């Protein structure tokens, strides 16, 4: 494999992993915008969804129903988490809420350990096709599924925001929580919806990436953390930013691991996060570019929720 092929390989695996980071970041950003809470337990939903799918499959359930059921299980657990732990403390301080989500994460990780133990579970790829060679790089077919998931999920999400009444209510709450409440949007129901949505999206992301990595009880921890890094990279409150941030993080990581060392794999993401927080805490979406025509600095990517607006 030539140097060029290798770079294309890095790029492809970066985009694949980056799509997963982007989906998790998306789940985080939507929840954060609606509830003001960073759900530090997000990674555990990746784990629970994936391992449930593995178990359902080995119990004889066909692929697609197993995946749907696993995502629903994650949704139910997310709903339980919101009602039992987040809703009663919704007026508490931010530190309290952060510790609550960490407590839930610890409990869920313990539960995963109790049910599935420490050994890794393989999840076979969705289709049994040979890898595709492209410009000296190798594409595993599963990577295409991951990319497809990311594209479909993002399109569906934006369609939901734009075309449905519930989506418009969510957008209103994301823009201004108090004003949304004044026009009769129920924040408690939206908070529940946000947690269920993010739990299900995280589970889906895990199920799609598991054939490439493997499924273990602690797989979600680092994925969740990198979702955070992606969200921060994208400016925390910005839906589009989360997607760009996820892809960017995946690509940076793939190149850094390929060209430097694999030992610092998790360190690289953290370094990216700290650098972004220190230099440009609003993320890449806060970057400004100089517009020659108007002679002024403009925000590079405008913050907007949804695709079309009126």
Q: Between helices 219-233 and 42-58, what is the axis angle to 10°?
A: 140
Nearest to other proteins of 92, 132 (CB atom): 92
Q: Which region among 66-74, 172-180, 244-252, 258-266 touches other proteins (by CB under 8 A)?
A: 258-266
Q: What's the Cα-to-Cα distance from 76 to each of 55, 64, 82, 84, 183, rounded to whole Å?
A: 17, 18, 10, 12, 29
Of 65, 110, 122, 124, which lies in the binding site for other proteins, with binding defined by CB under 8 A?
110
Task: Say how far apart CA 294 and CA 214 lie, in whole Å.
Answer: 52
Residue 98 touching other proteins (CB under 8 A): yes
Tell how far CA 219 is from the center of its chain. Answer: 14
Residue 29 touching other proteins (CB under 8 A): no
Of 2, 117, 124, 131, which lies in the binding site for other proteins, with binding defined by CB under 8 A?
117
Q: How many residues bind other proteins (CB under 8 A)?
A: 43
Give the torsion through C-alpha atoms of 309, 29, 231, 93, to 10 deg. 130
Report the nearest approach of other proteins to the CB of residue 77 (Å): 13
Task: Say how far apart CA 54 and CA 30 lie, in whole Å.
Answer: 28
Task: Say how far apart CA 50 and CA 56 lie, in whole Å.
Answer: 10
Residue 203 touching other proteins (CB under 8 A): no
Q: x/- site string to other proteins, residues 226 to 255, per CB under 8 A?
A: --xx--x---x-------------------
Task: Say how far apart CA 34 and CA 52 lie, in whole Å.
Answer: 28
Residue numbers of the site for other proteins (CB under 8 A)?
38, 85, 88-89, 92-96, 98-100, 102-111, 113-114, 117-118, 225, 228-229, 232, 236, 261, 263-264, 266-267, 270-271, 273-274, 277-278, 281
């Amino acid at each position: 494999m030539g140097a060029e092929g290798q770079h294309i390989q890095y790029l492809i695996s970066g985009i694949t992993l980056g799509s997963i980071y982007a989906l998790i970041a998306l789940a985080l950003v939507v929840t954060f915008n609606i509830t003001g809470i960073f759900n530090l337990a997000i990674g555990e939903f990746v784990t629970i969804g994936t391992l449930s799918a593995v178990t359902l499959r080995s119990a004889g359930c066909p692929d697609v129903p197993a995946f749907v059921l696993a995502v629903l299980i994650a949704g139910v657990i997310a709903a339980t988490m919101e009602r039992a732990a987040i809703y009663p403390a919704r007026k508490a301080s931010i530190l309290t809420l952060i510790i609550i989500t960490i407590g839930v994460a610890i409990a869920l990780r313990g539960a995963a350990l109790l049910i599935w133990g420490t050994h890794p579970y393989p999840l076979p790829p969705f289709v049994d096709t040979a890898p595709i060679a492209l410009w000296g790089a190798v594409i595993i077919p599963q990577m295409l599924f991951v990319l497809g998931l990311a594209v479909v999920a993002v399109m569906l999400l934006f369609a939901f925001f734009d075309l449905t009444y519930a989506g418009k209510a969510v957008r209103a709450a994301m823009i201004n929580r108090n004003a949304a409440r004044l026009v009769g949007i129920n924040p408690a129901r939206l908070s529940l919806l946000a947690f269920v949505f993010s739990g299900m999206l995280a589970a889906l992301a895990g199920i799609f990436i598991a054939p490439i990595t493997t499924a273990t009880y602690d797989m979600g921890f680092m994925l969740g953390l990198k979702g955070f890094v992606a969200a921060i990279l994208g400016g925390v409150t910005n839906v589009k930013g989360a997607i760009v941030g996820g892809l960017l993080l995946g690509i940076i990581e793939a190149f850094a691991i390929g060209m430097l060392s694999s030992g610092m794999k998790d360190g690289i993401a953290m370094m990216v996060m700290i650098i972004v927080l220190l230099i440009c805490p609003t993320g890449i979406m806060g970057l400004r570019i100089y517009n020659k025509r108007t002679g002024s600095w403009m925000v590079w990517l405008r913050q907007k929720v949804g695709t079309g607006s009126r």
